[in-house]
């Protein structure tokens, strides 16, 4: 850098701790005709979250990131107290990309201690993640609906890694006639295929190697579908990867219709989505991948 050049520091996002301050920012943005994007997170940000923020920057004039570890999403034996809280590092990561961060305390979001009125996720909310974590999606949709009401975004960004979450948010928006666009951004992975997750930091070096079983199982299913094998064969190919790693405890592995998130019949054709969850040591991980089933080999 020459003596005539200056080094600029990316602007830090404005930190908002109250609903009132956030609504005031939103009112000013609306008065100026600005388009608003919301990226809801629980913090402990990684490159997957930052990809959502980058996409939000392309879609809107004002980008608000929420950082809130929502107690309603955690069951009694889950890691609410242990969940990483890294606000200072998160703010540094968001410098130059997010305009504002809404980081409320629990009693700001739940002043009565808990919500008496909640959002029920319905049938799909009781499957897969919902079966393993009862009430999780009701808690997730409740806090997302509160965030939507506070921020009133034009568009909200979610990660495709949490495919069931994104599906249920879309369903809520449609069912409640909310004027919000929902965009799911594709999963960001390490070079070896491991999907980025805030919980990856819990993995030991050996557990991280074992965690690659999830992405390996997805690849096996994708390869089977590319060979024009049916749903049952793709599922068996994915399950075989877990059979080879007994130290990885499979929770569920299912191939669903992405339009309904209900299981596909073994002879179904068209689009599919494989969902998987497993525990590596004390850490529970999820992943998914799109599939296409066809009885006719590509010409």
pLDDT at position 299 is: 47
Helices (H), the chain: 19-31, 47-59, 87-94, 106-109, 129-132, 136-151, 163-175, 205-226, 231-243
Q: How far apart are the C-alpha atoms of 258 and 255, rounded to whole Å? A: 9
pLDDT at position 80 is: 86
For residues 70-92, give the mean pLDDT: 89
Asked if residue 196 belongs to a known ligand binding site, the reply is yes
Asked if residue 218 belongs to a known ligand binding site, the reply is no
Residue 188 has pLDDT above 90, yes or no: yes
Q: How far apart are the C-alpha atoms of 77 and 282, rounded to whole Å? A: 12
pLDDT per residue as tens digits for the range 127-166: 999 999 999 999 999 999 999 999 999 999 999 999 999 9
Asked if residue 43 belongs to a known ligand binding site, the reply is yes
Q: How far apart are the C-alpha atoms of 22 and 62, rounded to whole Å? A: 12
Query: What DSSP letter does each residue of 179-233 carry, written as one string?
Result: --EEEEEPPPB-TTSPBP-GGGGG--HHHHHHHHHHHHHHHHHHHHHHTT--HHH
CB 64 within 8 A of CB 153: yes
pLDDT, mean over the chain:
94
Asked if residue 199 belongs to a known ligand binding site, the reply is yes
**pLDDT-based confidence at 297, cuts 50/70/90?**
low
pLDDT at position 39 is: 98
Does the annotation count 49 as an active-site position?
yes
Asked if residue 42 belongs to a known ligand binding site, the reply is yes
Q: How far apart are the C-alpha atoms of 151 and 62, rounded to whole Å? A: 11
Query: 46: buried, middle or exposed (CB in 10 Å: 19+, 13-18, 0-12)?
Result: middle
pLDDT per residue as tens digits for the range 23-33: 999 999 999 99
Residue 2 has pLDDT above 90, yes or no: no
Candidates 49, 120, 136, 228; catalytic one: 49
Q: How far apart are the C-alpha atoms of 220 and 120, rounded to whole Å? A: 35
């Amino acid at each position: 850098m020459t003596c005539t050049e200056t080094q600029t520091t990316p602007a830090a996002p404005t930190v908002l701790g109250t609903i009132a301050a956030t609504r005031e920012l939103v009112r000013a943005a609306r008065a100026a005709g600005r388009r608003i994007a919301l990226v809801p997170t629980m913090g402990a940000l990684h490159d997957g979250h930052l990809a959502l923020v980058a996409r939000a920057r392309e879609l809107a004039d004002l980008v608000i990131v929420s950082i809130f570890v929502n107690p309603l999403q955690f069951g009694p034996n889950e890691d609410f107290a242990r969940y990483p809280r890294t606000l200072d590092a998160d703010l540094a990561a968001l410098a130059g990309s997010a305009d504002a961060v809404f980081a409320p305390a629990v009693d700001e979001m739940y002043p009565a201690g808990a919500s008496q009125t909640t959002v029920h996720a319905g049938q799909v909310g009781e499957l897969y993640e919902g079966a393993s974590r009862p009430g999780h999606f009701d808690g997730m949709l409740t806090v997302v609906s509160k965030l939507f009401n506070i921020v009133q975004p034009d568009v909200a960004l979610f990660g495709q890694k949490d495919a069931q979450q994104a599906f249920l948010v879309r369903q809520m928006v449609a069912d409640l006639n909310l004027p919000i666009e929902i965009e799911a951004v594709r999963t960001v992975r390490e070079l070896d295929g491991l999907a980025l997750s805030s919980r990856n930091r819990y993995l030991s070096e050996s557990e991280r190697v074992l965690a690659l079983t999830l992405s390996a199982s997805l690849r096996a299913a994708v390869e089977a579908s590319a060979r024009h094998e049916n749903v049952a064969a793709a599922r068996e190919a994915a399950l075989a990867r877990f059979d080879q790693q007994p130290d990885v405890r499979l929770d569920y592995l299912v191939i669903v219709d992405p339009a309904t998130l209900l299981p596909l019949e073994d002879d179904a054709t068209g689009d599919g989505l494989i969902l998987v969850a497993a525990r590596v040591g004390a850490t529970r991980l999820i992943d998914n991948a799109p599939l296409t089933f066809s009885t006719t080999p590509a010409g």
